[in-house]
Amino acid sequence: MPGETLIGNKFTTSFGGKGANQCVAAAKTGGNVHIICRVGDDQWGEKYKEHLRTVGVDVTYAQVTKGTTTGIAQISVADNGENQIVIVPGANNHLSKSDLGNAKELIKKADVLIGQLETPYETTLEAFKVNDGIKLLNAAPAREHIEEILPFCTILCVNEPEASLLVHFNVDVSNIKKALNILLESGCDTAIITLGDKGAAYSLKNSGECIHVFSNKVTAVDTTGAGDAFVGALASFLVNFKNQPLHQLIGAACEYASLTVTMEGTQTSYPEKYIPFTRQYDYVTL
């Protein structure tokens, strides 16, 4: 509440940020991953690049911005695992079209290009126009007026609050099919709405079907970064398991994300030895 002070029980500093989280999740699930980003010239910039190297992410196109801080987020985690986040973008705001020019061939040939909205929208839009592969947009943090990029999206992935902002009503499982149809009408080929512990629902353009994929039940300790884990894992699975149907790829990504909430932290909670498709993931057509 405004003006209220609470006593916490633990403080930690760790690496995060949506794009980086998604890269780390993709790398830990078998992806060959490059990150195109900017960090500051503060104490965190080079430390972050070295950290990404250690987890298998190529940082050739991670540029240092002089006189700017690296992006920082303050995350408060409640006893039930839910979180509240305040972000200071810093160098993230300086990612520009010139950065894309330096990596144009990489962007064009990438099997999957992941974008999100913690970096400038115009830069992400330009990258999506260049790429010839699967373009996966995680439209987060939630914002309106992204209509121009949606026709370039192969896959649009949002959670319930983000979907609610785009379709202009409160989205939940009861109206998920209607919400997905509206998202598809905006131009993307596939729309996915993640549902937390309820899994995820998706629909394909012109299919008329909505498929709800269920997640396994776990006890949540910290939900921070679970959505990013889903996106990164899904991107990796789309490349490495092309023979699997989409509902099984999404099921595996849900399972991977559910494992992360059983541990504290963000990237530190992403399992490295996860083996997908050891079972069939449950789903229902709505």
CATH code of the domain in which 159 resides: 3.40.1190.20
User: Of all residues in the chain, what percent carry a pLDDT higher than 90?
Assistant: 87
Residue 183 domain flag: yes
Tokens standing for residue 267: 């990237």
Asked if 63 and 81 touch (Cβ cutoff 8 Å), the reply is no
User: Which backbone phi and psi does 35 adopt, to 5 degrees?
Assistant: -120, 135
Residue 12 pLDDT exceeds 90 = no
User: Of all residues in the chain, what percent carry a pLDDT higher than 70?
Assistant: 100
Residue 109 domain flag: yes
Q: Which residues are catalytic?
A: 228
Asked if 154 and 135 touch (Cβ cutoff 8 Å), the reply is yes
Q: What is the pLDDT of residues 51-82, one digit of tens each?
A: 999 999 999 999 999 999 999 988 888 888 78
Asked if 9 and 262 touch (Cβ cutoff 8 Å), the reply is no
Residue 74 domain flag: no
Residue 33 domain flag: no
- Distance, in Å, from the CA atom of 187 to the CA atom of 205, rounded to the nearest integer, reads 9
Residue 261 domain flag: yes
Domain that holds residue 266: 96-285
How many domains does the chain fold into? Answer: 1
| E-state strands within the chain | 33-40, 57-65, 72-77, 83-88, 112-116, 134-138, 155-159, 190-194, 200-204, 211-213, 283-285
Residue 148 domain flag: yes
Query: Chain-wide mean pLDDT for the chain?
Result: 95
Residue 34 domain flag: no
Tokens standing for residue 157: 């992935």
Q: What is the pLDDT of residues 99-158, one digit of tens each?
A: 999 899 999 999 999 999 999 999 999 999 999 999 999 999 999 999 999 999 999 999
Q: What is the DSSP letter of 128?
A: H
Residue 170 domain flag: yes
